[in-house]
Amino acid sequence: MTKTSLTRRGALIGAAGTGLAASACSPKPDTFQPRGEGHFRHGVASGDPDQTSVMLWTALSDDAGGYRGVELAHDEAFSDIVFQQGEERTYIRPQPLGTLKILATGLQPGRRYFYRFRLGETYSPTGVTRTLPEGAVSRFRIGVFSCSNFPAGHFNAYREAAGNGDLDLVVHLGDYIYEYGYGGYATGNAQALNRVPDPLHEIVSYEDYVARHAQYKSDPDLQALHGAAPWIMSWDDHETANNSWTGGAQNHNEGEGSWDDRRNAALRAWYDWTPSREPDDLRHRYGAYEIGDLATLCLIESRLSARDQEILQDSFPVASDADIEDSEVLAAVESWKRDVVGDGDRELIGPEQIARIREACAASVAAGKTWRILANQVIMSRVNFPDFSREMPGWLRWWATRDSEFARNFILRTRFDIPFNLDMWDGYPAERERLFSALRDAQADVITITGDVHSFWANDLVDAGGHRIGTEFVGTSVTSPSPFSSFKAPGVDYGQMMADANTDVRHCNMEDHGYIRLTLTPEAAEAEYVTVSTILQRDYRAGLDSRWRLERTADGSVPVVERVE
């Protein structure tokens, strides 16, 4: 029997997944047809900036040899070139489409630069990048993205941010690509949209992951945002496989070979196809970035370096239809929450990362910086399911469960006040307390920016003792289906149900796609939840779900988030 966890693709979508399964039996689709052509049809990108350097990236297709290199200048006309590197022997990563990464060094802090690659006498499109500032910073704006599923729809959120975001930096929190094949998750509209996944099968080998990255990079809207600002990127699970951890993944089986081999192939392809610096151990994608005297940004890795396997739903100690008023039943559930989910030995990011975060945040406080940002993959705040046996309309419960024992069990289980998602920090509460304790020791309040859950949230971060640690801004997906999308119904607001059921949840929108535009100043941090009206066509309207503001307090206490629009 397949073990399915209480996750967005398990409990939320598994009950209505018959349509996806049916599509797998359809005739072979037409293959994806990219729009671009020429040597640089995958665009250009920059990333991992610091005060004096930035990584520059491109892919070379139809490579006829000759000079390969990059130019970086103060001006768009390239009359004032400040960095130039390349030669006929410039190293190209050997693969079906060669990728070229060059670290531009010797730059000035807080400067905008233009860059372009050259192959022979042909130039790439021009990209814009920036170094991180040092010293006084009056404003810094970050675009926060996650969950960009190519076959699910058009990347309109990327295009909106590229054209209207006025961003100094893009932070992508993971699920930049997805590993599923045609007929799998979120591919129902793929052929109609000319977004059939390449290759058609689930990706497993290095060549597979490269092909999938190359397909995503062919998207003009993704290219536009890569070319508009530098990116800091983390991965979540789908860059390898669904619900990955140190020893495997829900979406990996023995027939697909060694997990270590698959993980290593996926990571090698990820570094080859992103403008990211490479640590000695490719799994250790974490560290701190300094934004002048304004902020410290800590990048977290929560999948491959320390995570224990998530708690699976078949460990739940009682039958889903057990008597909710039976004291023995309730005692068994509480014991499961305390001793199984709350096992103190379970790790998510591990002691090394926690120590580094503490050190970076303590140094940030000592330096008098205003903000500390944790770039985090999965929801950190405490979130439990509402009791859907009461909150969901009876007719909708009937419709959802009429052909699905899975959905029936899931809805009944929510009576027991269970965590929303055991793949999130709620599945590792002891680790969360260790992190919160480290932040208290550093006397550091934080803003956590989070992805993964395909919905907008504004959450309070509060430890088990009731101490406020900070605020969590959760961004929705670029295209991946929203939670409960299979159970959408007129007048049913799942986001409001989640907010009503959880004191730490200030807001939840489970409908829209888009991104967060986070503006930092010495006085305040303001998060705008930018929406796009559709992902099923390239014409769209931009909107605003809400705007949230944190103001620094004169007494140094942890600021409380307030909705301002």
3 state SS for 433-465:
HHHHHHHHHCCCCEEEEECCCCCEEEEEEECCC
Q: How many CB atoms lie within 10 A of CB 395?
A: 9
Is the pLDDT assigned to residue 12 strictly greater than 90? no
Segment among 3-12, 197-206, 255-264, 399-408 with least mean pLDDT: 3-12
Query: How much is the pLDDT for 11?
Result: 38
Query: How much is the pLDDT for 90?
Result: 64
Strand partners, 113: 129
Phi (first) and psi of residue 141, to 5 degrees = -120, 130
Query: Which tokens is 32 given?
Result: 């994806």
Residues in the chain: 565
pLDDT tens digits for range 219-239: 999 999 999 999 999 999 999
CA pair distance 48, 230, nearest whole angstrom: 7
Q: How many CB atoms lie within 10 A of CB 385?
A: 23
- Maximum Cα–Cα distance across the chain: 78
Nearest CA-CA partner of 516 in 558, 444, 458, 468? 458
Is the pLDDT assigned to residue 32 strictly greater than 70? no
CA pair distance 47, 299, nearest whole angstrom: 13
Query: How much is the pLDDT for 521?
Result: 98
Chain centre to alpha carbon of residue 341: 24
Q: Kindly give the interhelix angle for 350-366 and 429-441, rounded to the nearest 10 degrees.
A: 30
Phi (first) and psi of residue 73, to 5 degrees = -140, 165
Burial class (CB in 10 A: 0-12, 13-18, 19+), 381: buried
User: Cα dist. 12→405, 406, 483, 484, 546 in Å?
Assistant: 13, 10, 6, 6, 25
5 confidence band (pLDDT: 50, 70, 90): very low
Phi (first) and psi of residue 555, to 5 degrees = -90, 0
CATH number of 41-131: 2.60.40.380
Query: How much is the pLDDT for 28?
Result: 66
Range 369-372, long-range pairs (CB < 8 A, 24+ positions):
369/293, 369/294, 369/295, 369/296, 370/293, 370/294, 370/295, 370/520, 370/522, 370/552, 371/294, 371/295, 371/296, 371/447, 371/520, 371/525, 372/295, 372/296, 372/298, 372/444, 372/445, 372/446, 372/447, 372/470
Which residue carries 């000759």 as its tokens?
Answer: 66
Query: How much is the pLDDT for 113?
Result: 98
pLDDT tens digits for range 375-396: 999 999 999 999 999 999 999 9
Cβ(418)–Cβ(384) below 8 Å: yes
State the Cα torsion 352-357-362-363 to the nearest 10°: 100
Nearest CA-CA partner of 34 in 173, 161, 211? 211
Q: Where are the domains of the chain?
A: 14-30+132-563, 41-131
Is the pLDDT assigned to residue 273 strictly greater than 80? yes
Count Cα atoms within 13 angstroms, Cβ side, for 168. Answer: 20
CATH superfamily of 14-30+132-563: Alkaline phosphatase D (PhoD) (3.60.21.70)
User: Cα dist. 231→46, 219, 234, 473 in Å?
Assistant: 6, 17, 10, 19
68 confidence band (pLDDT: 50, 70, 90): confident
pLDDT tens digits for range 287-302: 999 999 999 999 999 9
CA pair distance 138, 53, nearest whole angstrom: 22
Nearest-5° Cα angle at 176, 348 to 155:
140
Q: What is the DSSP string of 358-372?
A: HHHHHHHHHTT-SEE
Cβ(99)–Cβ(40) below 8 Å: no
pLDDT tens digits for range 184-201: 999 999 999 999 999 999
Burial class (CB in 10 A: 0-12, 13-18, 19+), 456: buried
User: Cα dist. 439→218, 445, 560 in Å?
Assistant: 41, 7, 17
Is the pLDDT assigned to residue 155 strictly greater than 50? yes
Nearest CA-CA partner of 117 in 227, 216, 196, 225? 227
Nearest CA-CA partner of 5 in 202, 244, 234, 175? 244
Work out whether strand 231-233 and strand 169-172 pair parallel, antiparallel, or are unpaired. parallel
Segment among 133-142, 369-378, 466-475, 547-556 with least mean pLDDT: 547-556
Query: How much is the pLDDT for 94?
Result: 63
Strand partners, 448: 374, 472
Query: How much is the pLDDT for 66?
Result: 77
* % residues pLDDT > 90 (the chain): 85
Count Cα atoms within 13 angstroms, Cβ side, for 479. Answer: 30
Query: How much is the pLDDT for 67?
Result: 85
CA pair distance 428, 344, nearest whole angstrom: 8
Q: What is the pTM of this model?
A: 0.94
Query: How much is the pLDDT for 185?
Result: 96
